[in-house]
C-alpha cells in the first residue's frame, strides 16, 4: 500500500476509536461562562487538559496559556476584543507537530466552548449517545465533531508510520461562542501557518467565506399610563405605548430587509444578509402601557462591508441612519429617538476560491468520494483573524450547521469519519509526508510558541 492507502486503512480500522474520542469530548460540558446566569467555574480547562494529554501522547510540543484582556487592549475596536473579560481557568492550547520541518505548514483550528444545553432534549446532552448512526450531544455539531476529526486525522498519519515534511499545528481556543476573543489571542500569541482548516460544521462542504454578525438592542421609549383609561394626546402628557412604537419599527425593519435582500448577497451564500429580530421585551404591568420596548436583533454583513478595523462599523452606521430616518417619520419618535446598544460584533472573512489551498481542499474532498462543493457560511466563525494576518483559511467539518445550538443536536457518525479522511488527505498533500516511525504513546511537553 502507498502512504495514502495506509492512512485511509488506519481510519477505517479505527472508526470506533475516532467516535470514542468525540464522545469523550462531548462528556466534558465545556459551556462558555458567558451563558451562566451567575459566574461559575468553566469546564473549558478540563477539555483543554484532556486534549493536551491526547496530543502529548502523539508527540506534539504543547503550549497552554490563559488569554489576558489587558494584554489585548491594543485591539480595542477590532474583532474579538472585549475589555475586562476574565479568562481565569480558560486556557488556549497550541500543539505543534513537525516543528522546524521545511515543508508547508498547516493550522488545524477550532473552538472547544459550547453554548448551554438548554431545554427539551430527549437524550442526555453530555453523553454522546449514538442512535441510528447519529451521535447526539451538545457540541457534536458546533464544533467538537470537527475538533475530534482534525486531531484524529493527525493521529491517523502518525500511527500509520508517516513523518510530516511540514509543521502541523493544532489550535484549540476558548470563547468563540461569545465573540471570538480566544482566536484573537491565539493569533496575537504568534501562531502562523501557510494555510488553515477551521473545522466548523459545513456538512462536508468547503467554505472559504463566513459572514459577520452584529447583535444589538433597539431601545424605544414610551410613556406609561393606565391601560384601561382614556388618555390625552402625548403632547399634553398622555401615555405613549412603547409596544405600538416598536411595531412601527418592526414594520420598517421588514422594508429594510427587502432592500438588503437585493443588495447584500454573495454567490457562495444561500441567503442574503438580513436584520432578524430575536427577542422582544416590553412593559412592566398588565394595567400599564409599556414605558419602554426593546428589540434585540441579529444582523449579518459581508467581508466586502468591513470597515478599516475589519469589523462591522460601516453596517453599524447604516443601521443607525436607518433608525434615525424611521424615527423622523413619527412625531413622538422624532422627539424621543430610539437608540441602538451594540452587544457583539463578530467578524467575517473570505479566501479566494482560486487560492491553491482552497483547490487542494476541494481535491482532497473529491478524492474520498465527496462532491467537493464550495459554499459560504451564513454565520460567524473564527476564520477572521487567521485571514487578517495572511493565512488562507477554509471552514470544513462534519455536521449540519443549521443544527448547531439546537436541542438534540447531532452529527452523523459517517460524516465524522469522512472529515478525518479529508483532513488527513489535505495534510498529506499540503504539508506532505514521508516514511517514519509509528507514533508512540510517550512524549515530552515543551513550552513555547512557533
Crossing angle of helices 3-13 and 15-26, in 10° steps, is 60
d(CA 163, CA 92): 26
Could you read off the pLDDT tens digit of each residue along the chain, which spans 450 residues?
899 999 999 999 999 999 999 999 999 999 999 888 766 667 999 999 999 999 999 999 999 999 999 999 999 999 999 999 999 999 999 999 999 999 999 999 999 999 999 999 999 999 999 999 999 999 999 999 999 999 999 999 999 999 999 999 999 999 999 889 999 999 999 999 999 999 999 999 999 999 999 999 999 999 999 999 999 999 899 999 999 999 999 999 999 999 999 999 999 999 999 999 999 999 999 999 999 999 999 999 999 999 999 999 999 999 999 999 999 999 999 999 999 999 989 899 999 999 999 999 999 999 999 999 999 999 999 999 999 999 999 999 999 999 999 999 999 999 999 999 999 999 999 999 998 877 664 433 333 333
For 236, residues 6+ apart whose C-beta sits below 8 A from its C-beta are none
Question: Considering the entire predicted model, what is its pTM?
Answer: 0.89
Angle between the 413-430 and 3-13 helix axes, to the nearest 10 degrees?
A: 160
Do residues 176 and 89 touch, judged by C-beta distance below 8 A?
A: no
Domains of the chain, each with CATH number or no CATH? 3-210+348-435 (3.40.630.10), 212-346 (3.30.70.360)
Three-class secondary structure assignment of 191-220: CCCCCEEECCCCCCCEECEECEEEEEEEEE
Amino acid at each position: 500500500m502507498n502512504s495514502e492507502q495506509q492512512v485511509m486503512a488506519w481510519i477505517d480500522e479505527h472508526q470506533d476509536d475516532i467516535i470514542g474520542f468525540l464522545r469523550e469530548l462531548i462528556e466534558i460540558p465545556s459551556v462558555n461562562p458567558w451563558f451562566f446566569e451567575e459566574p461559575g467555574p468553566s469546564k473549558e480547562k478540563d477539555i483543554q487538559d484532556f486534549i493536551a494529554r491526547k496530543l502529548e501522547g502523539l508527540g506534539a510540543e504543547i503550549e497552554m496559556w490563559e488569554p489576558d484582556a489587558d494584554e489585548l487592549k491594543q485591539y480595542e475596536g477590532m474583532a474579538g476584543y472585549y475589555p475586562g473579560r476574565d479568562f481565569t481557568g480558560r486556557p488556549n492550547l497550541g500543539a505543534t507537530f513537525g516543528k522546524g520541518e521545511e515543508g508547508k505548514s498547516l493550522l488545524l483550528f477550532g473552538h472547544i466552548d459550547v453554548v448551554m444545553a438548554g431545554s427539551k432534549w430527549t437524550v442526555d446532552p453530555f453523553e454522546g449517545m449514538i442512535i441510528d448512526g447519529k451521535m447526539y450531544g451538545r457540541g457534536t455539531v458546533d464544533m467538537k465533531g470537527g475538533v475530534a476529526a482534525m486531531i484524529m486525522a493527525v493521529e491517523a498519519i502518525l500511527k500509520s508510520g508517516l513523518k510530516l515534511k511540514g509543521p502541523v499545528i493544532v489550535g484549540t481556543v476558548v470563547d468563540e461562542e461569545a465573540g471570538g476573543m480566544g482566536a484573537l489571542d491565539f493569533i496575537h500569541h504568534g501562531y502562523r501557518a501557510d494555510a488553515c482548516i477551521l473545522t466548523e460544521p459545513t456538512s462536508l462542504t468547503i467554505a472559504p467565506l463566513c459572514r459577520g454578525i452584529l447583535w444589538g438592542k433597539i431601545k424605544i421609549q414610551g410613556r406609561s399610563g393606565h391601560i384601561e383609561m382614556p388618555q390625552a394626546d402625548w403632547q399634553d402628557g398622555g401615555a405613549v405605548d412603547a409596544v405600538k412604537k416598536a411595531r412601527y419599527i418592526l414594520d420598517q425593519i421588514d422594508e429594510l430587509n427587502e432592500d438588503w435582500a437585493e443588495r447584500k448577497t454573495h454567490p457562495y451564500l444561500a441567503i442574503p444578509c438580513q436584520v432578524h429580530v430575536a427577542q422582544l421585551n416590553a412593559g412592566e404591568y398588565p394595567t400599564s402601557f409599556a414605558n419602554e420596548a426593546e428589540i434585540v436583533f441579529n444582523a449579518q454583513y459581508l467581508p466586502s462591508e468591513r470597515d478599516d478595523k475589519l469589523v462591522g462599523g460601516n453596517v453599524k452606521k447604516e443601521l443607525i441612519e436607518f433608525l434615525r430616518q424611521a424615527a423622523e417619520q413619527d412625531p413622538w419618535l422624532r422627539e424621543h429617538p430610539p437608540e441602538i446598544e451594540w452587544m457583539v460584533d463578530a467578524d467575517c472573512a473570505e479566501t479566494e476560491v482560486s487560492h491553491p489551498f482552497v483547490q487542494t481542499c476541494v481535491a482532497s474532498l473529491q478524492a474520498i468520494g465527496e462532491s467537493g462543493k464550495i459554499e459560504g457560511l451564513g454565520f460567524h466563525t473564527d476564520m477572521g483573524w487567521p485571514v487578517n494576518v495572511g493565512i488562507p483559511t477554509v471552514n470544513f467539518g462534519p455536521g449540519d450547521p443549521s443544527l448547531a445550538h439546537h436541542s438534540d443536536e447531532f452529527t452523523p457518525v459517517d460524516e465524522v469519519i469522512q472529515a478525518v479522511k479529508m483532513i488527513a488527505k489535505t495534510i498529506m498533500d499540503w504539508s506532505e509526508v514521508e516514511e517514519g516511525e509509528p507514533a508512540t504513546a510517550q512524549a515530552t511537553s515543551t513550552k513555547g510558541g512557533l
